[in-house]
Structures are given as structure tokens and as C-alpha cells.
Amino acid sequence: MNIKLLHLVLPVGISFYTFHTLSYTIDVYRRKFEPTKDITSFFLFVSIFPLAMAGPIERATNLLPQIYKRRTFDYAQATDGMRQILWGLFKKVVIADNCATIANPIFEGFENASAGTLLLGAIFFSFQIYGDFSGYSDMAIGIGKLLGFRFLNNFHFPYFSRDIAEFWRRWHISLNTWFRDYLYIPLGGSHGTKWLVVRNTFIIFLVSGFWHGANWTFIAWGAYHAILFLPLILFGKNRKYTNTAAEGKYLPSLKEFCQIGITFFLVMIGWIFFRAENITNAFLFLKGLIHWRIFSAFYRVLMYKEFWFVVVMLIVEWLQRSKYHGLETFLLRCKPIIRYVFYYLIILTILWFFSNNKEQQFIYFQF
């Protein structure tokens, strides 16, 4: 029997429209606010253009009051928005697109690659997906500031996390808090027996994996993070780190440095499942990493210009880790000439790579 398939073209960002509408409907049902009588304001909330492609996922309780209110130009907010857009462009064009030129060929030809090369591929993909998605979020939030809106924060320097629970409080914040408020808490949240808490946690991560795509790799990615979360829940350590790493200091302690490194490594392993075409390839990639000479050729990373741009990004974001974005207050206390030279260097770097590299689509446009 031949089954006819429907090749439907879905609207770009349909999942984000759905999340906006669902949260509005549920919050009205819970009587958190009165339903709007202004249909224009409602559709603007659902489909406001900076957020339409890949979020952040807004809440009606935050955005609708801003839509109702008369907005006037705020110079300080607009300049902060421009800085955030600039930093988002840097992370997308300079970090993500360049890391993609290294990570993509390695993942596509992983069968013949050495352990050291596979490790480089996993590392560069980790920064590709971060630069790509957080870069988009920075640009969307920055555009919102130019329009007089303050959108919800979506990333808060997740690669400086000290355990996996802190990572998920800092990565794709709007999606994770959406699942928390509309799925995890209704299921019982952290109340009840340990078994129920574990069950709820697995449901959240599996649903999050399934949301990213109808592929077993995403389910495995979600299950992997749920397993990493399990010890923290069982021992009551999932809320241990709610502050900023090395708060009030320039450098982390040796313990914090090791914790950040281990957390990044665990997240990087998860990204292999996220990036692989299928489960078999993911496990073969992991198998290829298990070799005693894995670090023998790792010095090659120093030869990649992309590595040094990642280092620049990490230094800037480490210095700004208690702020909302990488350029929020960076160099503001310096003389204007120093600050503007830095901004123009970023702009010239973006233009250089944009004109010389093949265009890379935003990863999260497909979800």
C-alpha cells in the first residue's frame, strides 16, 4: 500500500508562535491577568518580529503591559541595545560561522578522523551552537531595546557554569522556564517523593529533546542531561550554585576552574548527540574519542584563528559575567577613544568574515 505524504511548508518560527499563544491562554485560565480586548496588541505579542524566528519565548505578563504603554525614545536603552546587537553579530558571524567551517567537515567525515580531530570538532561545535543561538538572542533583545521593549533574557554565560543544573538555569532560559512553569510544576515539580521528582525531571528533558526534532538523537540528548541531573536531585544539590562564578573576583579558584571545565566537557559530550545525524553515528563518534592519544595533536588548536576569537569572546564575557550581555558595561569606564576603537575593530572583523565566509544559517531556525 502506498501512503501519500503531505509535504507541508510550515511557517518559520511556528513553535515560538505556539509557545506564546499557549502561555497566554494558560495564564488567562489561571487568572494571572485579564484577557486583552485589543486584537492588534494580542497579535503583536504573538508574532513580534525580533522574536519570531528563534525567541526568546516571551510571556504576556511581561510583554503585553509594554505594548499597551506609550513608548518614548530612551537614549541609554538604545545605546545598550546597539552594543548588544553588535555583540550578537560578533558571536554569530565571527564565532559561530567560523567554528562551523571546522566542526562541519569533522562531523561529516568523522569515520576517518583521529581522536584529537574529533575532540576539536566537538569543542568547535559547542562554541558554534552557543555563538549561533545566543548571538541571535542578543540581536533580538537589542532590537527590542531600540523599539522600547525589554525582552526576557535568554542566555546568561552558560559555559561558566559549575554544574549541570546551573548550566540549565543559564542556557535557553526562556524555554526552560516555560517548561518549568507550564509542565514541570503542574506535574508536581520538586514536591512529593524523590521518585516523582526524578520522573518529572526526565519528562521535562525528554520533551525538550523531542521539541528540538523528531530524531532519536534529540531524545538521547535530553535523556543524557536528565541522567546528569539525577545525582544533583537525589542529593539535593540542584540549587547549589545560584550566584555568579568567582563573584567579585577576576579569576576563579582552582576548584571553580575545574568545575567549569568538567561541566563544559559534559555539555560538549551531549552536543555530539545533538549534532550527529543518527544514534549510531553519535556512538561511533564517542567511540572514536576513546583513545590514549586523544590529546597528542591537540596543540593544533593553537593554529586556528577561530580558537583565538573564541578566547577573546570568553575573556570579554568572563569580565561581564554578572551583566546581561558581553558589552553591557565593557570599557565604559575607559576613555571614549579606547571604547570606540574596540567597537570599530569588532565591526571591521564582522565585515571581513561576512564578506569572506560562506553564509551559515542560524541553527535554531530549524526547530
90 and 151 in a single domain? The answer is yes
* Domain encompassing residue 45: 14-68
Answer yes or no: is 109 within a domain: yes
Answer yes or no: is 148 within a domain: yes
Answer yes or no: is 19 within a domain: yes
51 and 86 in a single domain? The answer is no
Answer yes or no: is 269 within a domain: yes
21 and 153 in a single domain? The answer is no
pLDDT in tens, 162-204: 999 999 999 999 999 999 999 998 988 888 788 888 999 999 9
What mean pLDDT, rounded, does the chain reach?
87
Domain termination site, one of 53, 68, 83: 68
Domain count of the fold of the chain? 2
Domain termination site, one of 22, 39, 68: 68
Pick left, alpha or beta for residue 56 (phi over 0 → left; psi -120 to 50 → alpha; otherwise beta). Answer: beta
Answer yes or no: is 144 within a domain: yes
User: Any idea what the Cα angle at residue 204 is, between residues 241 and 284, rounded to 5°?
Assistant: 90
* Residue bearing the bigger pLDDT, 6 or 106: 106
pLDDT at position 5, please?
Answer: 47
Told to judge if 212 belongs to the known catalytic residues of this protein, a careful annotator would answer yes
pLDDT in tens, 314-348: 999 999 999 999 999 988 888 889 999 999 999 99
Residue type, 319: L
Catalytic residue among 156, 172, 212, 325: 212
pTM of the model: 0.90
pLDDT in tens, 18-77: 888 899 999 899 988 888 888 998 888 888 887 777 768 888 888 999 998 888 889 999
Domain termination site, one of 68, 84, 103: 68
pLDDT in tens, 120-175: 999 999 999 999 999 999 999 999 999 999 999 999 999 999 999 999 999 999 99
152 and 29 in a single domain? The answer is no
pLDDT at position 359, please?
Answer: 62
325 and 254 in a single domain? The answer is yes
